[in-house]
Amino acid sequence: MIPTVMPTYARTAHDFVRGEGAWLIDGSGRRHLDFGAGIAVNCLGHAHPKLVAALTEQAGKLWHTSNLYRAPWQEALSARLCELTFADTMFFTNSGAEAMECAFKTARKHQHHIGQTERVEIVVFEGNFHGRTFSGISASGTEKMAKGFGPLLPGFKRVPIDLDAVRAAVGEKTAAICIEPVLGEGGIIPIERDFLRALREIADENGALLIFDEIQCGVGRTGRLFAHEWAGVTPDIMAIAKGIGGGFPIGACLATEKAAAGMVAGSHGSTYGGNPLGCAVALAVLEEITAPGFLDHVNRMAGKLRQKLGALVDAHPKVFAATRGEGLMLGLKCVAPNTDVVQAGYDAGILTVPAADNIVRVMPPLNVTEDEIDEALSRLDQAASALDAA
């Protein structure tokens, strides 16, 4: 008999009932270190008091009015994000997939708005992940996500992460080039900074827009507010989600005024996107992450975690091959099957997340402490030792 919840996930038996910072507590009272952070969502851990206060205060005032009316909460959040980024405007969504949908539509609409109606193609990259909508799975094109859902949407031209391939793919039909500055689902692969700079140049030279998908790597995860800041380039459009809500479902499609010129009344919409609750929490998240010293803490903890993961790899060559990543978005390249490593971690009381290329993602809350990193490494060592002995 089919479960009452559609079985689209291979769920574990964990029944978490409570969260405290970097910890999750299951129904039996056992404590687990959460170094997956809900796949980079819980950027401030679980039940952060400032996020709880922001949500509780807003819940007592107003939950929803629809987007038919002025939304001061959206105006406050958008003003802050514009102040912090390249963006002049943005559309709020419920998720990252919806933010990417808006990004693709904004790019095509921009080209149509300026009379370049033949520019409908989006150049995307092998290994990238842009969500599970039809446009998302059409952009990724992997069999794992697309099998059985065809025909996929046309208009996506997929290339390897290679500048010659990009130059060959970009042409008179190109509306935009779209990339994740750090591949998440694709295996924690940071894109070279020179590569991102070159994409900016190629887009400008060819009349195309540049889209960055920072749904997983954004909002402080790499040690800068957004990952592309390390490269010193800005996109025309950027999708964010996950960390911006700290666990509350909210995303956004940020854009320059020029890129968003075609997005006029009636061109796009969302019933719940940018509701008062999500915007209140996102503002609290931004206040914490942009507080003096917060990103310095992220970078210090990232250095310690990476160093300790390196020692773990050296100690268990039958289990691990290498570490990679940026900031607190790290990956362990595994020799053993990554699903076995994740399961052994479960047994040792630490949560991580598998990704492509036999990677285990290690992504703790950004406010993780050094003691918690030490405890995590002890538990990962216990997990690896169990696999060594198997």
Query: Which active-site residues does the annotation give?
Result: 129, 213, 242
Q: Do the beta carbons of residue 46 and residue 21 sit within 8 Å?
A: yes
Cα-based distances in Å from 23 to 58, 160, 217, 221:
26, 38, 22, 18
Q: Is 324 annotated as a binding residue?
A: no
**Is 216 among the annotated ligand-binding positions?**
yes
Cα–Cα distances (Å) from 137 to 90, 267, 295, 354, in that order, read 23, 23, 33, 19
132 annotated ligand-binding residue: yes
- Is 213 annotated as contributing to ligand binding? yes
Residue 20 annotated as binding? no
Other CB atoms within a 10 A radius of the CB of residue 265 amount to: 6
Q: Tell whether 370 is in a known binding site.
A: no
130: tokens are 């842009």
- Say if residue 97 carries a ligand binding annotation: yes
Look up residue 355 and give its two tokens: 């990704």
Q: Report whether the peptide linkage leading into residue 317 is cis, meaning its omega lies within 30 degrees of zero.
A: no
Strands (DSSP E) along the chain, which ranges?
A: 16-20, 23-26, 31-34, 89-93, 121-125, 156-159, 174-179, 182-183, 189-190, 209-213, 237-240, 251-255, 320-326, 329-334, 350-351, 353-355, 359-362
Q: How many CA atoms lie within 13 A of 72 on its CB side?
A: 3
Of 357, 345, 278, give the one whose Cα is nearest residue 321.
Answer: 357
- Pull the structure tokens for residue 358: 């036999």
270 is in an annotated binding site: yes
User: What distance in Å separates the CA atoms of residue 251 and residue 215, rounded to the nearest whole number?
Assistant: 8
Q: Which residues are annotated as a binding site for N(2)-acetyl-L-ornithine?
A: 132, 270
Q: Which residues are annotated as a binding site for pyridoxal 5'-phosphate?
A: 96-97, 129, 213-216, 271
Q: Which residues are annotated as a binding site?
A: 96-97, 129, 132, 213-216, 270-271
